[in-house]
Chain A
């Protein structure tokens, strides 16, 4: 009996020894299981979801958003893509204008100035134009600062001066949006009747508009080029105004995604608007002799009207509306 018990103890000890050797190996097998296999990786979430949000109990539902991956796409557009679009549009158009002026020069008055003037724009028209134009210039400069200020002006001005400048520029941008919008609306109403495209415009364009080539095609009060400027101002001004107000009143019926879209539309529309207006400013100042007086003083030379807006002049004479002012 004692011998049997001794043998059983020996065998049990041997079995225990074997188990001790085998058990760690089996534990190592279970340690090789990947605990993260079923979990979603962060990169996967960022690529697939525009917004990552949880649940909350406070009324401010904006606070439920944990991450906004779509914001990274918007940030890239704002910091990279928009700068390329605006830079190419504005500098490219400026280069075209400079090149055109160097080749073509200013459009001169062929018959010379007669000294007799006719009223072209009344006081109210000029007031509305200049209020809109002045606001546009300040809005353009302050707006370009938002896009280009940090890379271009900050290194030159230093942090403190750039901050003060940008703060005042943003106030000007916000506050002048109101008179600019009023100006655009008044321009739309005031000049709508004279800016509907018609066949005269097709002929005017076909004959080079008096700026390409030597012809002086007939035109009404507003030629095709001016009608194009009108519609760019009305539509472009409308787009920047609407998107601008969406940004000025955040979360008033808009989400972050909607405001990001509005900012992209606002930036691109404004950049193209600025580029196009450079052409308007050029032709109204140095590009065409005698043009500025129309909006500066309200009157234009009779020969100028005959050369550039012959149909308008004829109609004014026929109606007896032409108020010819003698030379001073």
Chain B
């Protein structure tokens, strides 16, 4: 039971770390798929 609970917490922690990495690496869609001089909605 303890292994299961710890596994859940570690999975959440790793997911949180990955979310930080993704948010830093990936651009928002309106920037990733447009050139710097063609911004939509800004």
Q: Interface of A with B (CB < 8 Å)?
A: 58-60, 62-63, 123, 126-131, 134-135, 171-172, 174-179, 182, 248-250, 296-298
In the complex, are the beta carbons of A178 and B3 less than 8 A apart?
Answer: no
In the complex, are the beta carbons of A175 and B19 less than 8 A apart?
Answer: yes
In the complex, are the beta carbons of B22 and A174 less than 8 A apart?
Answer: yes
Chain B interface residue bracket vs A: 20 to 34
A-side binding surface: helix, strand, loop or mixed?
Answer: helix
Partner of A178, one of B2, B18, B32: B18
In the complex, are the beta carbons of B35 and A58 less than 8 A apart?
Answer: yes
Specify which chain B residues have a CB less than 8 angstroms from the CB of A172 in the assembled complex. Answer: 15
B40 within 8 A of A: no
Specify which chain A residues have a CB less than 8 angstroms from the CB of B10 in the assembled complex. Answer: 127, 131, 179
How far is B26's CA from A27's CA once the two chains are assembled, in angstroms? 64
Q: A178-B17, A179-B14, A179-B15 are in contact. Are A130 and B22 (CB under 8 A)?
A: no
Residue among A63, A126, A131, A296 with the most chain B CB within 10 A?
A131
Specify which chain A residues have a CB less than 8 angstroms from the CB of B38 in the assembled complex. Answer: 58
B-side binding surface: helix, strand, loop or mixed?
Answer: helix
Specify which chain A residues have a CB less than 8 angstroms from the CB of B4 in the assembled complex. Answer: 126, 130, 134, 296
In the complex, are the beta carbons of A175 and B15 less than 8 A apart?
Answer: yes
In the complex, are the beta carbons of A123 and B3 less than 8 A apart?
Answer: yes
How far is B35's CA from A58's CA once the two chains are assembled, in angstroms? 8
Specify which chain B residues have a CB less than 8 angstroms from the CB of A297 in the assembled complex. Answer: 1
Q: A135-B11, A176-B11 are in contact. Are A130 and B3 (CB under 8 A)?
A: yes
In the complex, are the beta carbons of B18 and A175 less than 8 A apart?
Answer: yes
B3 to chain A, nearest CB (A): 4
How far is B4's CA from A222's CA once the two chains are assembled, in angstroms? 21
Residue on A with the closest CB to B4? A130
A/B interface sample: 5 pairs, CB < 8 A: A62-B33, A129-B7, A175-B16, A178-B14, A179-B18
Residue among A58, A129, A175 with the most chain B CB within 10 A?
A175
Specify which chain A residues have a CB less than 8 angstroms from the CB of B1 in the assembled complex. Answer: 296-297
Partner of B6, one of A58, A127, A249: A127
Residue on A with the closest CB to B2? A123
How far is B2's CA from A129's CA once the two chains are assembled, in angstroms? 13
How far is B2's CA from A297's CA once the two chains are assembled, in angstroms? 9
How far is B11's CA from A149's CA once the two chains are assembled, in angstroms? 25
In the complex, are the beta carbons of B11 and A134 less than 8 A apart?
Answer: yes
In the complex, are the beta carbons of A126 and B3 less than 8 A apart?
Answer: yes
B14 to chain A, nearest CB (A): 4
How far is B6's CA from A283's CA once the two chains are assembled, in angstroms? 24
9 nearest CB pairs, A to B: A178-B18, A130-B7, A131-B7, A175-B15, A126-B3, A179-B14, A179-B11, A127-B3, A130-B4
Specify which chain B residues have a CB less than 8 angstroms from the CB of A60 in the assembled complex. Answer: 34-35
